[in-house]
Chains A and B, each alone.
Chain A
Amino acid sequence: MAVYDLEEQEQIDNLKAWWQQHGNLITWTVSALAVAVVAWQGWNWYQGQQAAQASALFGALQQAMVKEDTQRVRTIAGELTEKFGSTAYAPMGTLMAAKVSFESGDAKTARAQLAWVAAHGKDELRDVAHLRLAGVMLDEQAYDEALKELAHKPGPALAAAYAELKGDVLVAQGKQDEARAAYKEALEAQEKDSKDGTGEAGRSPVSQLLHQKLDALGGAA
């Protein structure tokens, strides 16, 4: 064993005393950190794993859509929501499946699918789901339910689309004055975010349609 001079001996003693006092705390902190890091990595790995499987299903769904295999689209969408409901692929796939259901005339399934996205999706996808759900309800003449969906407040970018559909529902209900107000609100929102030119030619297709719908209600000008 080497011989330490006095100063060094003193330092070693200091160190020992310090460790006596703080050692436990440090050991615990380091262990807790290590556990946290491992848990975090594990969680990431699990999420990545889930996402990879969900992505394969999503790919299969896209293909089934191209092949117009309605049944398969529905099955895959069901699997996505049941097994991979926490991944972003679930609302994405379900939105796609809802279109297929709607177009094949299966309004009931379309409603269920869109309602799932409205409840479990986040941000824009949720907003889009409420909008489309209201559209399906409009076709089913469930006007009050449709208006309830549209009462959900979307991000500002979708406000125009919400107001327009609200106008469509109100027209179907025969409430012309309220419909007119809704279309005007849609036009305002639309023209605010897109820098439309003035006059017929400068209008985007969306605002052209809005103008037509508004004109058709008479006394709008």
Chain B
Amino acid sequence: MFDAVRNNKRIVQVFLLLITVPFAMWGLDSYMNGDGGAAQVARVGDAKITLNQFQQAMREQQDRMRSQFPGVDAKLLDSPAIRESVLNGLVDQQLLLQEVNKQRLGVSVAALQEMIANIPAFQEDGKFSQKRYEEALRSQGMSPVGFEAQLRRDMALQALIGAVGESAFVPRTVVDRVVALQVESRQVQESLISAQALKAGVKLEAGELQKFYDENQARFTLPEQVKVEYLVLSQKNLEAKVSDAEVKAWYEEHKAQYALPEERRASHILLSTDSGDKAKIKAEAEALLAQLQKNPGQFAELAKKRSQDPGSAAKGGDLGFFARGMMVKPFEDAAFGLKEGELSGLVETDFGFHIIKVTGVKAAQPKPFAEVKGEIEADLKRQSAARQFAEAAEGFTNMVYEQSDSLKPAAEHYKLSLQQSGWLTRQGGAAAGVLNHPKLMEALFSDEVIKNGRNTAALEVSPGTLVAARLLEHKPSTLRPFDAVKAEIENQLKEAKAMRAAVEQGEGKLAALKSGKQEGVSWGGSQNVSRMAPGKLDSPALAAVFQVDAGKLPGFAGVELPGVGYALYKVNKVEAGQVDPALAQALGQQLSSIAARAQVEAYMASLRQRYKVEINKAALATKE
């Protein structure tokens, strides 16, 4: 049977050796998870980021955004920009992780302990509490080991980033210079060439309007519109009737739920075990108990004398009425196990030894029906409406689908009023009201609805609300006639031409000014501006003014102001400004944080090059 093996021993040996090598070097893992997990979205050095990891990170990011901006558009949450930024975050983390491992940036146990001890969530009365720590982790579904490993990793990443970012500073020379630039003051005069003033003189050529109209038809096209009728099946509007008998029956069945719980009144004598010998105290308590069993009437007196519970001792041991759950467990069990007037044996709790006497019992009291009727009725109605809705939704969905040439049968069957919309465009918007739902709008403009005259499917536009609609009237997109838009075009073209004329004139004047011919320009009043205090200048004008060479004054600048015209500036004087020390300090800090950010970014970019990052664009675009 094994002849083949025996005769080809050498071959078999070589083969065995060959398959041993990969197991020895990479273990079984690479066979088991080869690509069983998921496609990779990115490869960072030797590691890969799988689709699963990416999707997990996306979900976390989306949850964060949803909690920060409730009502944010779902499409925005899944936009390419967000996908890219989430992936970049993962890649950066992976890069840092690899660098941390390569540089052996471990975190010492002592540092880890100190970090954990200083997290307020794990503290009780300002001190670290092991119990609190474990509870807090458990509530997050984490084990201390997992949490510590993660924290350790994060601390190492932080240390690495911090070493680049937190250590950044900016030379004082540079800070002083930038501050000087911010406060430098320039005395300027403005001369505005207004496009509005030139507009009257603009002449349009014959046929120019028509030509513009022909070339820009998209601008003069009204979008496709529909008017629809629709039905709204809403859980809220479902008339749920609940009979008194049903309410009563529910009440009888769930009486315990609507009852005041049993309460008991008890007195006790406590011998505390906080200090001293437990056995001795127990013996004392037993003697006391024997005494009480002989003379039950002495309870109040002995409580006053001997009980070490300061709250109740003075009242003869009386604790008043209490329900279950208010006392420590052994005490509760004893108190609720006794009959009225009965004396307990010794009951041991964390406080010490108790002797308990039950002095009153208030049995559980059902709440009267009248008191809870309203509550039950509302509950039952809600339940019944949800049930009805679930049933109706299915029938409704089928009916609008099966009888797809009218909504009337569904309206009659479910007693819904057929409503009409105004004119709607594809964008929907607030005017569309309940119909403003991307899937529904898409359906309304589909061929099925517009050409074939069918109902839309019943779509759930919000939880518990189904909408189905059908077309009433349709306006295809239309080109507005030339005559209707002629005046509009004329105005537009004249403005554009006037603007061009203003710019041309301005640029001509600026060139003349620069070559020394100053006549023909009327300057306005002079004003002082600085980068900190730009006065009335907007930012392109300010930039132009500060580009003027301070070495050759007066200097000139010009800038196009969209929609207004062309502004010329004459810079008469350049003065160093007053440096406010507080301002200088604030700017210094700002500069250093700008430098820190830029250097951290450069660091990450450099890591990216060092570890070779490949991004799988196709996998990145995969939707869940």
A interface list, Cβ under 8 A from B: 47-48, 51-53, 55-56, 58-59, 62, 65, 87-89, 91-93, 95-96, 98-99, 102-103, 123-125, 127-128, 132, 135-136, 138-139, 155-158, 160-161, 165, 168, 171-172, 193-194, 199-201, 205-206, 209, 211-213, 215-216, 218-221
Contacts and interface: CB of A to CB of B under 8 A. Distances in A.
Contacts of B603: 124, 128, 157
A92 B549 contact: no
Given A123-B610, A168-B171, A220 B547 contact: yes
B606 A212 contact: no
Most A CB contacts (10 A, CB to CB) among B166, B599, B601 go to: B599
A95 B163 contact: yes
A58 B610 CA distance: 25
A136 B171 CA distance: 6
B404 to A, nearest CB: 50
Nearest to B552: A218
Contacts of A65: 166
Contacts of B609: 155-157
B319 interface: no
A202 B546 CA distance: 19
Given A124-B603, A155-B609, A171-B177, A215 B594 contact: no
A157 B606 contact: yes
Nearest to A57: B108
B418 interface: no
Contacts of B539: 200-201
A87 B594 contact: no
Given A102-B169, A158-B599, A218-B551, A124 B607 contact: yes
A56 B108 CA distance: 6
Given A59-B114, A96-B167, 8 more contacts: A48-B106, A52-B108, A62-B159, A128-B603, A132-B169, A155-B602, A212-B178, A220-B547
A51 B152 CA distance: 14
Contacts of B493: none
A91 B166 CA distance: 14
Interface residues of B, number: 52
A216 B104 CA distance: 46
B173 interface: yes
A139 B172 contact: yes
B106 A51 contact: yes
14 contacts: A62-B159, A87-B104, A99-B168, A124-B164, A127-B606, A128-B599, A135-B171, A160-B598, A161-B595, A165-B174, A209-B178, A212-B181, A219-B549, A221-B547
A161 B103 CA distance: 25
Given A103-B169, A193-B605, A215-B547, A95 B594 contact: no
B110 A56 contact: yes
Contacts, number: 147
Interface in B165-190: 166-174, 177-178, 181, 184
A53 B177 contact: no
B95 to A, nearest CB: 12
B289 to A, nearest CB: 58
Contacts of B601: 157, 194
Nearest to B538: A200
Given A56-B108, A124-B603, A216 B159 contact: no
B464 interface: no
A123 B169 contact: no
Contacts of B607: 124
Contacts of B610: 123
Given A135-B174, A218-B549, A157 B108 contact: no
Contacts of B171: 135-136, 138-139, 165, 168
Secondary structure dominating the interface of A: helix
Nearest to A158: B602
B594 A216 contact: no
A157 B591 CA distance: 19
A215 B548 CA distance: 8
Contact of A125 (B163, B177, B551): B163
B106 A55 contact: yes
Contacts of A56: 108, 110-111
Contacts of B546: 212, 215-216
Nearest to B555: A218
B174 A123 contact: no
A218 B550 contact: yes
Most B CB contacts (10 A, CB to CB) among A89, A160, A172 go to: A89
B540 interface: yes
A45 to B, nearest CB: 11
A58 B159 CA distance: 9
Contacts of A213: 177-178, 181
Nearest to A214: B547
B584 interface: no
B164 A215 contact: no
B269 to A, nearest CB: 54
Contacts of B441: none
B549 to A, nearest CB: 3
Contacts of B167: 95-96, 98-99, 132
Given A155-B606, A157-B605, A200-B543, A99 B166 contact: yes
A215 B18 CA distance: 69
B3 to A, nearest CB: 15
A168 B173 contact: yes
B149 interface: no
A46 to B, nearest CB: 11
Contacts of B104: 47-48, 51, 87-88
Contacts of A103: 169
A53 B591 CA distance: 35
B330 to A, nearest CB: 47
Nearest to A88: B103
A209 B173 contact: no
Contacts of A55: 105-108, 111, 159
A58 B605 CA distance: 25
A93 B594 CA distance: 21
B549 A157 contact: no
A199 B496 CA distance: 22
Contacts of B552: 218
Contacts of B543: 200, 211, 215
B500 interface: no
A125 B103 CA distance: 12
Contacts of A58: 159
Contacts of A161: 595, 598-599, 602
The 4 closest A-B pairs by CB, nearest first: A218-B549, A92-B163, A88-B103, A157-B605
Contacts of A91: 163
A1 B539 CA distance: 103
A35 B268 CA distance: 75
A152 to B, nearest CB: 15
A21 B106 CA distance: 49
A155 B602 CA distance: 9
B160 interface: yes
Contacts of B164: 95, 124-125, 128
